[in-house]
């Protein structure tokens, strides 16, 4: 339980205070990751299962590393191996996992709302590792952590989010987190990749990418999935990269010390030029390390880990 909440469903459900506490705990966790010996006992005796019903490399490995560094016991199940293939419902699968004494199930699923649905039906703590187009809360937390590290604050920063907002759970979670922490968010995307009424989430919708990036402290690029093109949402990746992709010229509109973020995996040459992806301002790899730290913090907070945080 973390301030009365059993599950981490989304940033939507977190208060600013909860977000800040997780980010604070994550500082210690990052220190641990950077030690030659990473083993702690904060989650000793806790059993954690990752249940991934959608492809993932970094998020799954990141969570599993987090569990190991904290001395917890990790199990893993993915749809190809679980019995959902035999016609068992997901709820029955999770109830089965729950019944084995599991303290926490980390779920990724292609359908929005699945972690919330499962959380209402089992005792174990449910952590959302990305659900459909809804939320990816640990990604947003690691993004906030990265911004804090680089900029020392979030309040008042100008943040641009560029790319496929419509299908992106990362964009939604980042928008909720950034607005809760007081950043000014501008977004830009082809009109077919903007969800309706997105401005009601407290962001400015810009007509061009240039408008969004201008004077930004942080620029976040989102992954463009090729199937979007096949579905007729934009004409070609060439045209996309010309009008919406980030390159050395375009990034000059941002503040000189602006950082560039991307949740990965990067489509080089589409949303980012290869030069930009490897540039000084890109913090893409730092985001990966921070992902482990933040997930350790999340597990400690929600599972009653023994690391005691003091302000």
Partner 1 sequence: MNILIKNGTLANDNQTDLYIENGIIVKMGQNLDFTCDVLIDAKNKLVAPGLVDMHCHLRDPGQEYKEDIVTGTKSAVMGGFTSVACMPNTTPVADNKIVISYIVNKAKEKAYANVYPIGAISKGLCGQQLAEMGDMKEAGAVAVSDDGKPVENANFMKNALLYANGFGLPVISHCEDMSLKNDGSMNEGYTSTYMGLRGISRASEEVMVSRECILAETYNVPVHIAHVSTKGSVEIVRQAKKRGVKVTCETCPHYFTLTEEMVEGFNTNAKMNPPLRTKEDVEAIVEGLKDGTIDAIATDHAPHAIDEKNCEFDMALNGIVGLETAFGLSYTYLVKTGILSTAELIEKLSTNPSRILKINKGELKEGAVADISVFDLDNQYTVKTEEFMSKSKNSPYDGFELYGKADTVIVKGKIVVEKGELK
Q: Which residues bind partner 1 (CB under 8 A)?
A: 12, 89-91, 109, 111-114, 116-117, 121, 131-135, 169, 172, 195-198, 200-201
The CB-of-276 to partner 1 minimum distance in angstroms stands at 28
193: left (phi over 0), alpha (psi -120 to 50) or beta: alpha
The CB-of-185 to partner 1 minimum distance in angstroms stands at 14
Phi, psi values for residue 206, rounded to 5°? -100, 150
The CB-of-125 to partner 1 minimum distance in angstroms stands at 18
**Cβ neighbours of residue 214 under 8 Å, at least 6 residues apart?**
253, 254
The percent of the chain in helix, strand and coil, each rounded to the nearest 5, is 40, 15, 40
Nearer to partner 1, 106 or 272 (CB): 106
Nearer to partner 1, 8 or 283 (CB): 8
Nearer to partner 1, 96 or 247 (CB): 96
Nearer to partner 1, 30 or 167 (CB): 167
The CB-of-56 to partner 1 minimum distance in angstroms stands at 17
Say how far apart CA 43 and CA 66 lie, in whole Å.
10
Nearer to partner 1, 131 or 271 (CB): 131
The CB-of-200 to partner 1 minimum distance in angstroms stands at 5
For 269-286, b/e burial (b = at least 16 CB within 10 A) is ebbbbeebbeeebbbbeb
């Amino acid at each position: 339980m973390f301030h009365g909440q059993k599950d981490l469903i989304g940033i939507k459900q977190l208060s600013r205070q909860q977000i800040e506490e997780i980010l604070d705990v994550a500082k210690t966790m990052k220190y641990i990751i950077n030690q030659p010996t990473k083993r702690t006992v904060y989650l000793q005796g806790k059993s954690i299962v990752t249940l991934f019903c959608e492809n993932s490399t970094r998020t799954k490995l990141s969570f599993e590393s987090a569990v190991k560094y904290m001395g917890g016991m990790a199990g893993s199940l993915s749809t190809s191996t679980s019995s959902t293939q035999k016609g068992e419902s997901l709820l029955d699968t999770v109830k089965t996992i729950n019944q084995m004494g599991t303290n926490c199930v980390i779920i990724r699923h292609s359908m929005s709302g699945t972690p919330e649905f499962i959380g209402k039906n089992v005792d174990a703590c449910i952590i959302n590792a990305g659900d459909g187009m809804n939320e990816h809360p640990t990604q947003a937390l690691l993004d906030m952590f990265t911004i804090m590290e680089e900029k020392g604050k979030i309040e008042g920063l100008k943040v641009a989010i560029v790319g496929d907002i419509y299908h992106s759970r990362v964009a939604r979670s980042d928008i909720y987190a950034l607005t809760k922490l007081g950043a000014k968010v501008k977004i830009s995307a082809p009109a077919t990749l903007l969800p309706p009424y997105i401005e009601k989430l407290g962001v400015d919708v810009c007509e061009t990418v240039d408008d969004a990036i201008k004077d930004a402290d942080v620029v976040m690029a989102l992954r463009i999935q090729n199937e979007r093109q096949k579905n007729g949402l934009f004409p070609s990746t060439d045209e996309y990269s010309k009008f919406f992709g980030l390159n050395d010229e375009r990034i000059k509109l941002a503040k000189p010390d602006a950082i560039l973020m991307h949740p990965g995996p990067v489509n080089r040459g589409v949303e980012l030029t290869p030069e930009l992806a490897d540039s000084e301002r890109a913090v893409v790899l730092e985001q990966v390390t921070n992902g482990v730290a933040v997930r350790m913090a999340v597990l400690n907070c929600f599972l009653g880990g023994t690391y005691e945080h003091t302000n």
